[in-house]
Chains A and B, each alone.
Chain A
């Protein structure tokens, strides 16, 4: 049987040479049913064209490096199997809604600033000393925020969010989900410090609930849920007399 082959069309862009990004086509052997899009890129880089640039590391869906647009949908390429596309060609592009640094590499500095702006750490009015041991917390209390703590910062949700695409001031799905993760943590007392950022017009209220962020999330974080829950919470705080509780 002749070896199966598959065509990968990858975005190429070198700001030192190219005016704008363009697609380059590579036909490569599809030699193993377990191959994923990332394996195809690695094959290209290793054996065909060493100048193709992209990020990757763990190849097990946990480091969050290898998010790209695969046939127009944001995906972790380590988890996008060639067999699901073959014999059609696969178009691999950098994540939507971000500036491109080079080829498939996006500029995500904006997210790094937004992540910091929501104060993603435990805030206590009074720190307890290490000698006093751990805070008591039940598994049920962890269940309150467990889902939102699964975010790997892969940026797929930002690539899927048209609101972010139209207005990059929007705090965005992952940052809000992580803010909610801390706000729901029984050890945390920092809600009031985070409210000015998440309750802002560029925070949860910029979201018009497209819901695509939750569709593309590879870790089941459901950022759309985090955002709508936060909208409800902030409204309740505003409306109810006892809403301003800690």
Chain B
């Protein structure tokens, strides 16, 4: 295959973008590990990293993460088969349920973090 194969089609391009957005995500998560390690030294000695560049980077990574989540959860409707009274549930409903679960999980985790963080 020619090296530029992924530029030939929108689908290929989106796919390669999706694959490569995983790299900054991984970097950001590594950074998070460093931050956690630093936080282990106690609140008195910890100051979170807050440069503008890092905030911008974080926002971009957040967008990437959302892109992954949305594509992944949309797919669930296609791949998960649930039968109710011998009829398969419509895929839209399954995806919707997944998005709702995602939202609920986010709220719960956020709540727990803030609750225990205080």
Q: How far is the CA of A211 from the CA of B86 in the complex (A)?
A: 29
The reply to whether A210 and B75 form a contact with Cβ atoms under 8 Å apart is: no
Tell yes or no: B6 within 8 A of A by CB. yes
Segment 1-41 of B: residues with Cβ below 8 Å from A = 1, 5-6, 8-9, 11-12, 15, 19
The reply to whether A228 and B5 form a contact with Cβ atoms under 8 Å apart is: no
Tell yes or no: B60 within 8 A of A by CB. no
| Size band of the interface chain B makes with A | 10 to 19
The reply to whether B11 and A72 form a contact with Cβ atoms under 8 Å apart is: no
Q: How far is the CA of A222 from the CA of B15 in the complex (A)?
A: 17
Q: Which B-chain residue is minimally distant from A228 (CB atoms)? A: B79
Segment 130-160 of A: residues with Cβ below 8 Å from B = 140, 143-144
Q: How far is the CA of A211 from the CA of B75 in the complex (A)?
A: 11
Q: Out of A72, A162, A222, which one reaches B6, CB within 8 Å?
A: A162
Tell yes or no: A122 within 8 A of B by CB. no
Q: How many A-B residue pairs have CB under 8 A?
A: 42
> From residue B1, how far is it (CB to closest CB) to chain A in Å?
4
Q: How far is the CA of A162 from the CA of B14 in the complex (A)?
A: 13
> Please, which residues of chain B bring their CB within 8 A of the CB of A222?
78
Segment 79-95 of B: residues with Cβ below 8 Å from A = 79-81, 86-88
Q: Out of B1, B80, B86, which one reaches A166, CB within 8 Å?
A: B1
Q: How far is the CA of A209 from the CA of B18 in the complex (A)?
A: 10
The reply to whether A229 and B81 form a contact with Cβ atoms under 8 Å apart is: yes
Q: Which A-chain residue is minimally distant from B1 (CB atoms)? A: A165
The reply to whether A225 and B78 form a contact with Cβ atoms under 8 Å apart is: yes
Q: Which B-chain residue is minimally distant from A231 (CB atoms)? A: B79
Q: Out of A162, A208, A229, which one reaches B79, CB within 8 Å?
A: A229
> From residue B25, how far is it (CB to closest CB) to chain A in Å?
16
Known: A162-B5, A212-B12. A140 touches B79 (CB 8 A): no
> Assuming A72-B9, A165-B1, A222-B78, what are 14 further A-B pairs, CB within 8 angstroms?
A97-B1, A162-B1, A162-B12, A162-B15, A209-B15, A210-B12, A212-B9, A212-B12, A212-B15, A215-B11, A225-B78, A225-B79, A231-B79, A232-B79
